[in-house]
Structure formats: structure tokens, C-alpha cells
Structure 1
Amino acid sequence: MNKTKLALLIPLLAGTLPTPGFSAVSEDSSATSSTPATTSKSGKEDKIVVTAKQQSQGDTTQEAKSGAGFTAQQVNLGPLGDKSWTDTPYSTTTITHQMIDNQQAKSVSELLKYAPSTQMEARGGMDVGRPQSRGMEGSVVANTRLDGLNMVATTAFPVEMLERVDVLNSLTGALYGPASPAGQFNFVAKRPTDQPLHRVTLGYQSRGAYTGHVDLGGHVDDGKFGYRVNLLHEEGEGDVAGSTLRRKLAAVALDWNIQPGTQVQLDASHYEFIQKGYPSGFSYANGINLPSASKLNPKNRNYALDTAGMDLTTDTISTRLLQDFNDGWSLTAGVGYQQADRAMRSVSNTISDNNGTLTRSLSDSSAAGRFRVLSNMLSLNGHVDTGSIGHDLAFATSGYVWSIYSAKGSSVRYSLGTTDLYDPDSMDEPGDGKIITNGDRYRSSTNTQQSITAGDTVTFTPKWSAMFYLSQSWLETANYSSSGTKSSQVNQDGLSPNVALMYKITPDVMAYVSYADSLEQGDTVPTGEGLSNEGQTLDPIRSKQYEVGLKAEVNNMHLGAALFRLKRPFAYVDSTDMVYKEEGDQVNNGLELTASGPVMEGLNIYSGVTFLDPQLKNTVSESTSNKWVVGVPKVQANMLVEYSLPSMPQLVYSANVHYTGKRAANDTNTTWAGSYTTLDLGTRYSTVFENIPTTLRLSVNNVTNRRYWASIFPASTDGSGTSNSAFLGTGREVRATVTFDF
């Protein structure tokens, strides 16, 4: 029997990042490692030791068992570090690597369906959309992070390299700096394993796309250096006949344990994503009714052009320093760089009337769009006591420089004529059939943010505590001409506070009430529309949120409830003076209910439901005031169930039921998208083949082949939009994998 500490066992089961100061131990490890002791309120170290059965190298039983990864004991909260789920006064959701593996997920949009409050706003497609929470539109950079450093949301991302995804459903300006009230999505990369890991996964997807994934990890030089390597190649015909799907990933994570308490991490990844021959989105004006998705087949190849689609390349590199000091103080510093090239050759589908006339065209760009993000973060955390009151302090700074590069040359547009929406003709290639990945670009704009954060979590008694956080932020927006001349620059700044009061009803049940006021960069006034203040950047806007919540851990189940009111202002053109200004509001009132964990022996659930009342207030037109926000469901629910017989735990059956309620399809609420329910079924079996631990997985997504609109969104969220867009959901799909642990 090996001895290990409870402080190690909990993050081991939850799949969390290792705490600085000891060797990284992942879900694959079995050896004992030195771990930091916990610190009591008095400042003394409390060492808790438990015994655990040693797990053989390569044993996948724990990862494949029913309910693996359904509960995570900790969640990362930026400058606060990893915090206990029960002690956190926020509504959070964690999707672990076990769930990613066992559900055979391949994209961020596939992960979001498991959380009741999140959606993907497709924009250029489900793989290049904006994650959002609680019905609020997310931003391109400010709401998404990789290991705490800002990253581009609107590009394809390989979930196979992830340890977990932490979703914070709240305003986060006090913790992270200015951002949309769409929540915060932190992607946590896999780290080196304590024991050698040699894992190979071979996969198959409907119509003939084959996947090979290699996951290697371990330590060398007596644990001083750790490594994790993920290599992925998927290629073949996609879900639509004649389509092309190709994904390539090379990701490396390195740890250097310089000395006890000091660790340097280095991560780098290169990801290529090619998808051609899939249906694009459908656009329609406010006066056009959105057709029922039940009449449209997402696998109809006549909605697509075999040569049109996307060619995306994303390169990321980052480094972090993790330092533990004496008396419970620690420091984390990091810097990251990401370049996302987005070459997109899109078919434009416009629903021209209510009789099913579809007008189509094709756009060829002279160069791929490019985003570059240089981000930074630095946090210092520690504990002090003032008499009988404890203080968990955090001081941090974080920010980024986001540069946007546009094509110098103009795009070429080809008319593809009109066809019948319900029985479309095939399209002929009008150009050379190439997606332009290279070409002349220029830096068109730069967005800079930097914030300083200070906060204190005060423990008054074992039952009562409070959290106080405040950030000061500076924002700068600069625009450039194609010749490189700076055409405009706007500087802004402001404060973002967050206050929460917490009460421990029992040690495992916590009630809280919180208030957050978060800064967000002001809109830039459109040009070329005859507006009297065109080109100006408006003052920063403020979103506000009130939340009351309850969290409980009962028999290893996580139960949560949160009642909230979220308000965000927006700007529009006032026709009386032709001035683009802030006047209206989006107000979302909602209730979130979640339950995850073991119900009984062999039966586990990961579930939640959100009831939302998303409305526009005081808009430019009375016809849009007090109306539902486009594309936001009033009810969204998901339940993932896994079951295994107690006598045969190696065989697991799974079922996932997802429900999205009806959604407004325009801002006057004269047309709607109906509700839909999808069913996914799966099974997996763990065994030993030729002395090699092996796991076989089989799943069928959207078993009933339900046709639905996966994403609907307006051209503008301000209640004055003139057009909307919608993307079809994926039809029935079969996926199968076999995983070997050598």
C-alpha cells in the first residue's frame, strides 16, 4: 500500500492542474509524490495522510468507469487560483478529460451542450463561433483563456489536448479585466504524468474519417523534467458526401522542477483544421420567416460546394512560472502568444422570401484573416490572520494585445443564382476552387487591455465569510490604414468590483449572494452610414449582475442552484439625431439548476437546466422593446447518464438527452425556431488484450436524426439589426474508437 495525501488524491480524481511545488501527477499516475501540506486558519500546516491502492501503469479502469470525471472538486478562478467547488460563490461548470474521451468529443461546441447555460454563437460556423453563457454574446478574445492566458475564441480548437474546461457563468471583470458578460471559458491543457504514459487511440467517424491520436507523458532525471506530447491526425470524408475533413495537432507540454516549490512550464501547439463541402449559414432579413429546420437536410450536398469551407491554422506558445513561498504564499506568472490564420471561402445563402427562394453567392478573399494575441498574467496569493479573522489575499495583473490583420486586396464575389431552398440545385465552381491561405495583409487594428486586481476572501467564522475584489483596467483601441498609418486611437479606463457574502449551512452546504459590476470596451461607431459621430469609440459600458446561489455536496453528488439578474447596455443609432449612442439594455433573468455525480452504485448523472427570460429593453424601436433576444432559448437542459452493472463495471452504457427550447428568430419576435431534443447513445468496454489495457468506445450521436437549428444570431444585438443568420445542426453520426495503453 502506498501512502499519499488527501491534498494529492482530490485533484488526482478531479483531473486538475498540479499545485506548484511538487511533481505533476495526472490521472495516469500511480506513484507517491511529495505534496504540500494544507494550511489552517492559524497558519500551521495540517498534514492528512490516507492510504490508496497502487494503480498499475496504463490502467484505464478508473477513466472508463461509469461517471468518471462527472464531478470536479476544484475550479480555477484566475487570480484566486484553484478553489473548492463548494466554497466558490459563482455558478461554475467543469468538463473533464474523462468526459471528453468517453463522449468522443472533437470540438468546443460539442462540449458546450453538456452545460445548461452555454451555447455556441456560430458566426462563421460551429467550429469558429463564440462561446457564450447565460444568453450573452461573447467576445473574440476577452472571454476565452488557455491556462489562464487569453486566446482566440473564433478558430477551431483541438479538445484532445485538454485536461478540462472550467466555465465561470458570471461577470468576471473584477477577476480577469474587461470582458463581455458571457462568462469566462478557461481551457486547461494536459500536463506531464508522474508515471510513464503511452496511449494510442484509433478512431472512425461516419462516412470514413479516420483518426489516430498518440498521448505520451512521463518524467525523466528523477522527476526533474516532465513531458506530455499529444499528436493527432484525422482525415477523410466528413459528415456530408463529397466533403473533406482534416485535422492535425502537435502539442507539447514541458515541466522543469527547478527545486522544491519552483516549477517552470512551457507549452507549444500547432493545429491545422480543414473542412470543406459543408453547408454554410443561412441569412434572412427581419421581414422573412425562418423556415422549419425539419424541412432541411444538413447532409444534402447541394447546400454546399466541395471546394468551399475553411482552412484554419493556429500556433500557440506559452510559459509559466509557479513558485511556492513559505507560510502558504505562492506566485504564478505567465506569458503567451497565439497566431490564428483563418482562410475561409464561404457560400452565402440568403433566404429571399417566404416562398423558399434561396439566393447564393461565393466570396474569394485575397488573403486569410489573421489574429495575433500576446497575453500576460501575474498573481500573488497568500493567507494572513488578523486576530480571529482569516484573509485569503490575491494581487494580480493580466492583459493582452490583440492585433487584427486584414487582406490588402479586395475579395471577389461570384453570383451563384437562385434555387429552391427545399430542393436546391447543385452548384458549379465559378473560380479556381482554392482557399487562399497566403496573400498581402496589413495590421488594421490593435486592441490592448491591462488590469490590476486586488482582493480578499475574509473568513469571519467557520460559517460566515465574504469576498471583495476590485480591478482597475486600461483599454486602448488603435486603427491603421493599409499603408500602416495610424488613423485613430482611443484610450479608456475604469473599475470593476465584485462582492459576495457566503454562509456555510453545514460544512458541505453553502449559500451565497453576490454582486458584480464589470467593465467592457465601448462600441466603435460604424462608418459610411451618415452618422454624425462615425468612427468614434464610445465610453466603456458596464454590465451588472445580482446572484443568489446554493451549493451542496451530498453523498459525493454536486447539487447547485443559482438565481440571477444580468443587465448589459448596448448602443444603436438614434434616428432623431443620427447619433450612435448607448441607450438600450439587454436584461436576462434566470435560474440554473445542476446535479452531477453518483445516484446509486453504477448509475451516475451529469445534468442541468437553465430557465431564462432574455429581453431587450428601451430599444431604437417600440417593435423590438420588451422582446426576446434572438437565438437565446428560454429553457435549455441536458442530462448525461452512465450506467454499469455492479458485477461488470468494465462495461458502461451512456445516454445523453439535450433539450433546447424555442428561440426568437428576429428581434421583433415575428418568427421563431422551434424547440428540439437530441439523443446520443454510447457504450464502452475496458479489457486487457495481449497484456495491453484496452478500451473500446462506440457512440451514435443524434440517434433520431433530428433536424434543428444549432445556432441563430442577429447581425446586431442592439435591437436595430436588419438581418439574422442560422446554422443547421449535425445529423445522425457514428463514432468508434479503440484506446491502447502500452
Structure 2
Amino acid sequence: MKYRLNLLNDEGHSYTTDSHVRRQYAGLGLDFQLTDQTVLESNFSYYHYYEKGMPGSFALAKGVHFPAAFDPTDSKYGQSYAGHDDETTTVDMHIKHDFDGNWMLDLGALYQVADRESTAVTNTLTNNQGDYTTTTANSAASRFTINSYLANLTGSVDTGWLTQDIATGMRGFVWKNYNPRNGGTFTLGHSSLNQHPDYPRPPYPDFNDRYHSATTTQHAFLLSDTLHFSPQWSLLLSGSENLFTVSNYNKAGHESSRQKDNGMSGSTSLMYKPVENVTLYTTWADSLQQGDTAPAGARNAGQVLDPYRSRQIEVGAKYAPVKDLLLTAALFEAKRPFAYTNDNGDFAQDGTQKTVGWS
């Protein structure tokens, strides 16, 4: 048996005056060599993050522009009681079996509970003279539970003129959201950028009094094949069939909406190595993925939107001048449906987000 234990207890303040930050972590890893070819890996972890007194986020009313950059060390943009108190507990296990030094099987499962107590504030600038309204929204999910699994089989096939690295398997998850039963949006007060307001603590909800608001389920069946034509040229082909189910629930526990969807996702990468430590590549990807969750403050806060399809194309280069150092550069363009809170107060998909960039 092999074990690994990591412990962390860190407390102090962040960059803002009078802020308070605490981090606590405990992680235990246990590995059991069941046979010469089979190992059981297990990991258990707990993480607690506490942060209060940091600046609130800023938003803009329609037609208002941001003034000069704010000083993030100044505590006047936040409240001493506002921030985050988050806990995450995770358990995962893998059974790995080596059949013959080539073909490998990996079976895994994970369970996670994430509790989120968000009391942060938002300052919305209402005019170009620096006046703003401070609010706090606490209707978003305060607990997430995730059950997930995976099964992968990987190996290589050499036909003499062509070498193939094959990976096949399946994976999936059940993701449940739980929202505060009495969550809502509260206005703390009105101020301006040259003042230092100290608002009374608002009536935050009981973050432990929750209702089940949504369940998202995904199952995916995957197959990928990397074809090596020569030491210089290779082609990666991958595809998956995805099955989605999204259910939303009201506070009475009744299902308010249900959406089922399925579809193919795929990607293709052509790679060229002019020399051993340089790779040039181009990639195209088309994927179906989980929809966004409506944020606190939206009329449908906590609702999970329907799955959406995104597409991306990328060209890039990777260079490894020495061992353990990899330099990369890439140009990419990505498109996906865009979701936002509309004039009716609903968080919904409307339009397309296009991102062009480099890294």
C-alpha cells in the first residue's frame, strides 16, 4: 500500500485593507497494488475557503461608462460581512489494469459535494457621476452534488506502415443543484465612489434550507484514433455520442421543465513535426455541451438551460527546447450560443458569441 497526505491551514488577509481570508485543506491518497497488473487508487479530500471584506463586483446601468480604474486595496467598495464561505468534499476511486504492457483499462467513479455560501455584493453604477446602488443576490445554488463515472480502454496497433493509438470508453455524470429556499435579491443602499458606506447586514437566507432546483445528466460514448503515417505526420480523429437530460424543479418539488437531447461531437487534428521537438498543428472541433445555469438575480435563477453546440478552429505550434519546458503559440476562433439576462429579467440564449484570439 502507498499513501499520500497533504494538510493546509492558511489564514490572513488579502490585498484589501481589513479583509479576512482562510484556507483549509486535507487530502489523503491511498493506492493498493491488488496484483502485478492491477492497482486501486483512491483519493479523499476536503477544502474550506473563507473570504470576507473584499471589494464587491461592479456592474453598469444602461448608458453608463466605467470611470478611472478603482483601487482594489480600498475596503470602501465592499462590506466586512460580505464574501464567500465555501466547502468542497470529494471522493474518487480508480481501478487500473495493464493487460499486456500495451492495452490498459481504467475504471473510475467520483462523488463530490460542494457547498457555496455567497454573500458578496454588487455595486451597479447608475450614472456617469459615480453614484451606485449596492445589492446582494443569494438565490443561486448553494449546494452542488456530482456523481460521475468513466471507463477507458487504450492501446496501440502497429500494421507496419501505420501505427494507431486507440482510445475508447464511456463517461457520464449526474449533477444536482440545490438553491436556498428563501433566497432573493436585497438592496443594501445607495452611495457614490467618493464615500465609504457601511450598510447593515441584510437578511441573508438560511443557506442550509435548500430545495432541489435542477438535475443535469450526461452520458458520452467516445472513440479516438491517432494515426501515425510517419515520424513527421499524424492525424487525430475523435468522436463521441452524447446523451443529455436537463430537469428543472420548483420549490414544491414538482418538475417544471424537462429537456432531452442527444448528438455527436467530434474533432480532427492534423499534426506535423519538422524536427523532433517542434509540432505544428491545426484542429477543428464541434461539440455538444451542458447549458448554462441562470445566475442569481435573474427571474429564472437556478434554471439550467438546454444543451448547446459550440465550434472551434485552431492553428498552433509547440516547441520543447529542453526537457520539462514546453512553449506554445496558437490562433483560434470559437463560436457558441450566447446566454444573458434579457430585458424581461429571464436568463436565456439569444444570439451567438464569437471569440477570436491567440495564446
Structure 2 partner of 1:409: 182
- Is 1:518 the counterpart of 2:287? The answer is yes
User: 1:524, CA displacement in angstroms?
Assistant: 8.4
**Residues 547 and 359 (structure 1 numbering): CA distance in 2 closer, same or farther, change over 3 Å?**
closer
2:72 to 292, 298, 310: 298
Structure-2 residue corresponding to 1:468: 237
- Kindly provide the amino acid, as one letter, of the partner of residue 317 in structure 1: V
How does 1:567-716 map onto structure 2 within 5 Å? Answer: 567-570=335-338, 584-592=351-359
Map of 1:19 onto structure 2: none
Contact 2:122 2:135 in 1 (8 A): yes
Q: Which residue in the other structure is 1:63 paired with?
A: none
Task: Tell me the equivalent position of 2:21.
Answer: 245
Q: Tell me the matched-pair count.
A: 350
TM-score normalized by the length of structure 1: 0.44
Q: How many angstroms does 1:260 deviate by?
A: 1.8
Percent of residue pairs identical = 36
Q: Distance in 1 between matches of 2:266 and 2:74?
A: 50
Flag the structure with higher helix content: 1
Deviation at 1:328, TM superposition (A): 0.4
Query: Counterpart amino acid of 1:378?
Result: A
Task: Find 2:191's aligned residue among 419, 422, 438.
Answer: 419
Task: Specify whether residues 264 and 431 from structure 1 end up closer, same or farther in structure 2 by C-alpha distance, changes over 3 A only.
Answer: same
CA-to-aligned-CA distance 1:12-62 (integer Å, 9 cap, x gap)? xxxxxxxxxxxxxxxxxxxxxxxxxxxxxxxxxxxxxxxxxxxxxxxxxxx
C-alpha distance in 2 between matches for 1:342 and 1:330: 38
Q: How does 1:168-247 map to 2 (within 5 A)?
A: 225-247=1-23
Q: Is the 8 A contact 1:407 1:442 kept in 2?
A: yes
Contact 2:183 2:205 in 1 (8 A): no
Structure 1: state its 5+ residue gaps: 1-224, 593-742
2:129 maps to which of 351, 355, 377: 355
Residues of 2 paired with 1:448 and 1:522: CA distance? 11
Identify the residue that residue 328 of structure 2 maps to in structure 1: 560
Residue 390 of structure 1 corresponds to which residue in structure 2? 163
The Cα shift of 1:381 comes to 0.1
Q: Distance in 2 between matches of 1:525 and 1:237?
A: 32
Report Cα offsets for 1:138-170 as digits up to 9, x if no partner: xxxxxxxxxxxxxxxxxxxxxxxxxxxxxxxxx
Residue 474 of structure 1 and its aligned partner are, at CA, apart by 0.4
With CA pairs under 8 Å and 6+ residues apart, which has the higher RCO, 1 or 2?
1
1:437–1:311 CA distance, 2 compared to 1 (3 A):
farther
Rounded Cα–Cα distance in structure 2 between residues aligned with 1:312 and 1:555: 40
3-state DSSP class of the match of 2:219? strand
How far, CA to CA, are the matches of 1:458 and 1:258 in structure 2?
34
Counterpart contact for 1:284–1:352, Cα < 8 Å: yes
Cα deviation for residue 454 of structure 1 reads: 0.6
The aligned counterpart of 2:39 is 263
Q: Is the 8 A contact 1:565 1:590 kept in 2?
A: yes
Is contact 2:49-2:85 (8 Å) kept?
A: yes
Contact 1:497–1:516 (8 Å) recurs in 2: yes
Q: Is contact 1:331–1:378 with CA below 8 Å preserved after alignment? A: yes
How far apart are the structure 2 equivalents of 1:581 and 1:412? 22
Letter in 2 for 1:236: G
Aligned partners of 1:451, 1:555: CA distance in 2, in Å? 37
**1:542 pairs with 309, 324, 327, which one?**
309
Distance, in Å, in 2 between the alignment partners of 1:496 and 1:374 is 22
Deviation at 1:292, TM superposition (A): 1.6
Instruction: Describe the superposition over 1:450-502 as per-residue Cα deviations: whole angstroms up to 9, x where unpaired.
Output: 10001111112222221111100000000112122222211000001111222
Match for 1:372: what amino acid? T
In proportion to residue count, which structure has more strand? 2
**Corresponding position of 1:116:** none
Classify 1:263/1:466 alpha carbon distance in 2 versus 1 (closer, same or farther; 3 Å).
same
1:450 equivalent to 2:219? Answer yes
Note the residue ranges of structure 2 that are not aligned, 5 or more in a row.
Answer: none
CA distance in structure 1 between the aligned counterparts of 2:153 and 2:304, rounded to whole angstroms: 38
Q: Equivalent residue of 1:302, what SS?
A: helix
Distance change in 2, residues 1:238/1:468 (3 Å): closer
CA offset at residue 414 of structure 1?
4.8
CA distance in 1, matches of 2:184, 2:71: 30
Using the alignment, how far apart are the partners of 2:8 and 2:341 within structure 1? Answer: 48
Q: Measured at CA, do residues 226 and 297 of structure 1 come closer, stay the same or move farther in structure 2, by a change above 3 Å?
A: same
Residue 355 of structure 1 deviates from its aligned partner by: 0.4
